[in-house]
Every structure is written in structure tokens, then in C-alpha cells.
Structure 1
Amino acid sequence: MTQAEQAIKLWQAGVAAVDGYTATQSALSDVPKPDRILAVGKPAAAMARAALDHFGIVPTLVVTKDDHGRNLPDGVEVIEASHPVPDGRSLAGGRALRLAAEAMQPGSHLLLLVSGGASSLAEDLLPGNSLEDLEALNRSLLSEGLDITAMNAKRRAMSRVKGGGLLSHFTGKKVTVLAISDVPGDNLHVIGSGIGALPDTYTFEATTRIIASNAHARAAATNAAQVAGFTVHADEEALHDDYLAVSAYLGSRLRQMDPGVMVFGGEPTVVLPDNPGRGGRNQALALALGREISGVSGITVVVGGTDGTDGPTNAAGGIVDSSTWAEGAETALENADSGSYLDNVDALLVTGPTGTNVMDLVVAIRR
């Protein structure tokens, strides 16, 4: 096994530990059978499938990303929508979720399965706002380099379902919310812009639980590294900054790294130019790290979004070493075209949808 293959294997061990199906299945042992299941987010299909395998037939609505609503039983209503910029289907998904919550009978139990990506995938706008307003807001937010908390605060301002709005329409007796966290601090009011958060005032019974997070993924990756005989030098949530600041910080750590493994998690930000090229924050961070370790032998770094997609691309991130940074890399980084460069040097990390979403994961190995 090459060092790159070993690094990818450790990265995949972290992602597998927070798989939406596994995490949901493990959390259902003390949950009574619901009368309705609503699932929203990138891993929504995997979460819903686990619930249906556990409970049997339950009316279910899944709102998820394009090509993510697979392998569900017949009869499940699936709405696929756009991410990271919402579209008309996102409005259909948000409205369908609200109407389902409103239609619950007195005495009924709702199981709400929430995960990252819901901010774009499901929206029901307050009067006076249009789809064009929503699209413009999201494009602006994606280019400004804001962290997820700041982005979601702006999204909630025009929404009927974010920030506790969805459950303010619930008319039944009990709600169980199971969430996979893709935000720092694992705050239910921030995950999916608070689409699974409890409203400020409510009269129903409520149970909320975070069932998978970045910390769980990092722990699994570090455990896999130790089992494989590596010394683990770091297990940190250290990616919450502009990607260039993150790459400078990690680069210094990597250049001084003893033989072994480092694992980092979080979600860097990127300020985009007016006409960005191809890629996402993980591909940008991977290429920037390639610059940091250029010429430093023995280091391989895997950078990837745990959901398997990075920005509006089909790659999860990149795999870099001492030889990745070469002619054309600087221009690609400046033009937000890291994906094209990494593709040209066969350094993209492509996994397909993973069935989870717990921010990003970096695994570094040094011989």
C-alpha cells in the first residue's frame, strides 16, 4: 500500500464512523415508533433508510441533494434540490416539510432527521422574499468568506422554517430530533440554519440529540492510525479560518512533524474572486498545503469534505505531497481554480456521496 493509499484509508475510516445510516441506526434503540419521518440534508436518505429498516413502514419525506436520494423503499417521497445555491426545488422541499409538520395529528410523534446541507436544500420564504433574493443571498454568502454561523444568521432572516420555524408549525404531541452536525460546537440552532431547532415557545414533548460530529470522525481516524501502528501527533479541530491562514498554520506543523499521523477537522473559508474557476474550499486548502510542503519529502496529506462533495464539484478534495506544487499551481490558487490543477496532476480525492456530513477532515502521514 502506498502512503497516499494509507492516508486515504485513514480518512475513509473517519468518514465511515459517522455514516448517516450507522449513526442513525445506533440512536434508535430508545426511540418509539414515529407516525411520520422527515429527513433533510445531504445524508438524509441514509438516515431515513436506517429509520425505516428499524421501524418498518412509516410515511416518510426526504429532502436531499441531487443524486443523493437513492436506495430508499418504495413509497418514500423524495425531493432532490440544489446545493450550495438553492433553486426552485429547494422551495418545494421547504414547503413540503412545513406542510407535513402542520398536518400532524394531535397525539402524534414526529421523527425529524437533520443534517448539513439543509440550509440550501430546503427553504420556505417569508412573504416579501423571492427565489431570486434567496439565490443572490447564497451566492453572496459563499463568496464572502463568512463562517457558517454568520451565514446561517442571514439565511434565517428570510425563512419560515429555519431557526426553529419548522417545528413552530408542528401540531402533534412529541418530536424526536436526531442530527448529524456539520458545524463548530454542534449547535442545533446552527445545523441547517436551525431547521431542526426547537422554537422559542412550544407545548409538545421534545427530545434532541447529536448523533455524529467531526469529533467522532477524527477519533475514528486517529484510532485507525494507531491500530495500523502509527504514532498520532495531533487530533484537533483546527480548520476554522481562511484557508490560507489554515494552510500556513498546518504547513508549519507538517514541516516539523515527526514520523506518524496528524488529524485535523473543521471548515475553512474562502473569499472568491469575481470569476472563480473550478473547485471548493477543500481543493483550495489541499493545493495551498501542497505549496507549504513542496520539496519536503515523506509527507502525504489528504483533505476532503466528509460528505464527498466540495463546493459545486464532484470531488471531495485533494491528495498532495512534496511534488504536487509545480508550474501553474500559483495561478490556479489565485483564480480559485485549484480543482482544475489538481485534476491535471491526478491529485483529486473523488469518493462520491458518503452518506454523512460532519465538516471537513485532514489526514497527514509522514514516513
Structure 2
Amino acid sequence: MSAPEQTREDARAIWQAGVDAVGGYNAVTRALNEGPAERPDQIVAVGKAAAAMTRAALDHFGPLPALVVTKDGHGEGLPTDVTLIESAHPVPDERSLDAGRALRECVAGMTADSHLLLLVSGGASALAEDLTEGNTLDDLAALNRSLLASGKDITEMNVERRKISRIKGGGLLSAFAGATAQVLAISDVPGDDIAVIGSGIGALPPTPNFAATTRIVASNTHARDAALAEAERRGYRILTTGEELHGDLEALASDWGPRLCGMEKGAIILGGEPTVRLPDNPGQGGRNQALALALSRHIKGRDDITLIVGGTDGNDGPTDAAGGIVDGSTWTDSAQDALNRADSGSYLADNNALLTTGPTGTNVMDLLIALRC
């Protein structure tokens, strides 16, 4: 195997090690084994990792009533007696409203002595909603489309989403009349704040009338730590690691492009979630594909650097790809036009540079792996 081929294989393996370490099944299993974990009367799970998290809880406790709300195609592997609702992401649809009502009715219908296990992961903001009076699905969809194109970060977006929601920002658990609630969350937001994850669908109300615990069971930090360990195992010296991928995509590319071009032999491992402003009528792709392509400009012609930028959930924006895997051969004369049209996905597909994984069972923002051999 040539050096570039080996570096490409190493980059993908290191990225995957980070993702595997924060898988919903493994994260919930670890948390429940560490205890204490009272057997719940009801499991409620919402988010892209909801199915994997629920499978872990069922394997730990045995059969239990469970309601799972997740993205289309992300509900595989659940027992047939689990109530599964698959809905839309990143722009909600009518099923998202059905899912939101089902969540609220399930939680509100529990008895006074009951125990709830609530499993939360990224994607919940679009997957489930119960709107405040006077707001419609069209209002919700328009808000989400506007936010996705706005360049706002996830914290700013979720503030806006909570304003028209009955179940976000502590609203869901405000309907809970039971005795105890345990919330286990996989964080896809900076700072790992339960009030921000899924727009606060797992947050406690201001004055809960029940005993409650909340815990973050997986985060971008955990993913980066695992990727770092795999990079070292494969013989790479760690040059830089941190949660540095926040902010405007173009600014990140301008900052990190020259640094990647000038990197020494070794590995750079970064996490975060870039923001992007979209033109009218954007093409195919998402922020990870766009960032990977923009960075490839700076390593054009190099045969010793390979770069992956990918969403840990396996989806980059409204696409089935996780991101891009690029090297010195990726950038050509037509690349800038693709970026301008927000069509990086089409360009990367044509140049054998898409990173495609399928659903990963987790969601802890994005990972960048850069290797120089």
C-alpha cells in the first residue's frame, strides 16, 4: 500500500474510533453499569441516537414500555414491541408534530409513583415538536429553514426554537407527574449543556415536583480522546487537539488551511460544529463537506496530507454523507464554483471524496482528522 493510501486508511480508522467510542449503545451501557440506576416504568428516547440508546437500556433492564422518536432510517434493531416514530430532520414535518404530542402525552400520562428514563440525543429539535397556540407546521418549518441558513450557532438557534415549543426548554418534563426521572444525554452542543441539547427537551422545569438526575454520557471530548488514542496506536504524534471547529466556515478554512499546509508529520484532531450561510437555492452538501473542500485548496498538490471532516451522526446537513475525505488531488479549477453554489457534495461525489458511513447511533457534533505522513 502506498503512503497516501495508508494515510487515507489511517485517517478513516482514527475518525471511526472517535465515533465508536461515543456510540449510543456503549455510552448508555457504561452509564447504567456505573449506576445507581433504578428500574424505570417507562423509557422515552428522542434524537438521532434514540434507537441505540434504547437498545442499551432494554438490554440492561429487560423488557419495558418504550417510546422512541428518531430520524427516518435510524430506528433499526429495536424490539417489535417498542413504539417507534420516525420523523424528519433537519426540517420538521407533520410527523414531527405527531412525535411531539406522543412524547408529551406519554410523559403526562405516567402515574404519581412512576419512574421515567429519558434518553436524549442531538436532532431532537426537528424530530419532535408540540407547538404553542397560534403556531403552525408551516411556521415551524420556515423557522428551521431560516435558522439553518442563518449562520447562527446551535445555542442561538435553539433559543429561537424554544420560543414556540411546549416541550423544549424544560416543557416536556414539566408535564411529568411521576416520582423520579433520570435523564441520560449525548451532547451535540458546545459546553454540553442539557438546556441546549435538543433545544432543552431533556431539561428540568424551574421547580420540578419530582426527584431527578441528569447526566451527559457522551460528548465531543470523549470522541476526540478516543481518536487521539487510535492515532497514537498507529504511530502518529499528536500535534494539536481541541474543540476548535466553532464559528464561520469560511473563517475556519482561512485560519486552519495554512496551518494544515504547514503541519509537521503527525496528527491534528479537532471537534466542533461550523456555521454556514447558504445562498438561495443551495446545491447538495453540508457544512462538513464544504469545510473539507475549502480546506483541500490549501493542500493542493501535496501527496503527504489527508484530511477528514465528518459529522459523527453520519449525516451532514440534508444529505446521506457524513462529510468529506480529501487530499492533495481533490481541489481542481471547478471547486470554488461548487463552494459558491453550496454544492460541495456533488463535487466531492464526482471526485471520490465523500465520507459515507450510514447512521452511527450517536451525535456529538463534528470531527476533523488531519494526518501528515
The equivalent residue for 1:3 is 7
Aligned partner of 2:93 among 87, 90, 111: 87
| DSSP 3-state at the match of 2:149 | helix
| DSSP 3-state at the match of 1:166 | helix
The equivalent residue for 1:352 is 358
Residue pair 2:150, 2:278 contacting (<8 A) in 1 also: yes
Aligned partner of 1:22 among 23, 26, 35: 26
The equivalent residue for 1:258 is 264
The CA deviation string for residues 3-62 of structure 1, in whole angstroms up to 9 with x for no partner, is: 111100000000000000000011112211100000000000000000001111110000
1:261-340 alignment, distance < 5 Å? 261-340=267-346
Residue pair 2:177, 2:209 contacting (<8 A) in 1 also: no
Higher mean C-alpha displacement, 113-122 vs 292-301:
292-301
Q: Structure 1 residue 297: deviation in Å?
A: 3.5
The CA deviation string for residues 227-285 of structure 1, in whole angstroms up to 9 with x for no partner, is: 11110011110110111111112112211211010000000011000010000000000
The equivalent residue for 2:173 is 167
Residue pair 2:43, 2:117 contacting (<8 A) in 1 also: yes
The whole-number CA distance in structure 2 between the counterparts of 1:302 and 1:39 is 30
The whole-number CA distance in structure 1 between the counterparts of 2:342 and 2:149 is 11
Count of residue correspondences: 367
Q: Structure 1 residue 328: deviation in Å?
A: 1.1
**TM-score, L = length of structure 2:** 0.97
AA matched with 1:27: A
| DSSP 3-state at the match of 2:371 | strand
The equivalent residue for 1:219 is 225
Structure 1 gaps of 5+ residues are none
2:264 maps to 1:249: no
Residue pair 1:306, 1:360 contacting (<8 A) in 2 also: yes
Q: Structure 1 residue 186: deviation in Å?
A: 0.1
Residue pair 2:247, 2:273 contacting (<8 A) in 1 also: yes
2:184 maps to 1:178: yes
The whole-number CA distance in structure 2 between the counterparts of 1:203 and 1:88 is 32
AA matched with 2:45: A
Q: Structure 1 residue 172: deviation in Å?
A: 0.1
Q: Structure 1 residue 296: deviation in Å?
A: 3.3
The whole-number CA distance in structure 2 between the counterparts of 1:142 and 1:203 is 36
2:183 maps to 1:188: no
Q: CA RMSD in A?
A: 0.7
Residue pair 1:309, 1:352 contacting (<8 A) in 2 also: yes
The whole-number CA distance in structure 2 between the counterparts of 1:293 and 1:139 is 33
| DSSP 3-state at the match of 1:144 | coil
2:234 maps to 1:228: yes
The whole-number CA distance in structure 2 between the counterparts of 1:286 and 1:184 is 21
The whole-number CA distance in structure 1 between the counterparts of 2:61 and 2:298 is 50
Q: Structure 1 residue 195: deviation in Å?
A: 0.1
The whole-number CA distance in structure 2 between the counterparts of 1:98 and 1:203 is 17
AA matched with 2:8: A
Over the matched positions of the two proteins, sequence identity in percent amounts to 63
The CA deviation string for residues 299-327 of structure 1, in whole angstroms up to 9 with x for no partner, is: 10011000001011110000111110002
| DSSP 3-state at the match of 2:214 | strand
2:17 maps to 1:13: yes
Residue pair 1:248, 1:292 contacting (<8 A) in 2 also: no
| DSSP 3-state at the match of 2:107 | helix
AA matched with 2:297: R
The equivalent residue for 2:347 is 341
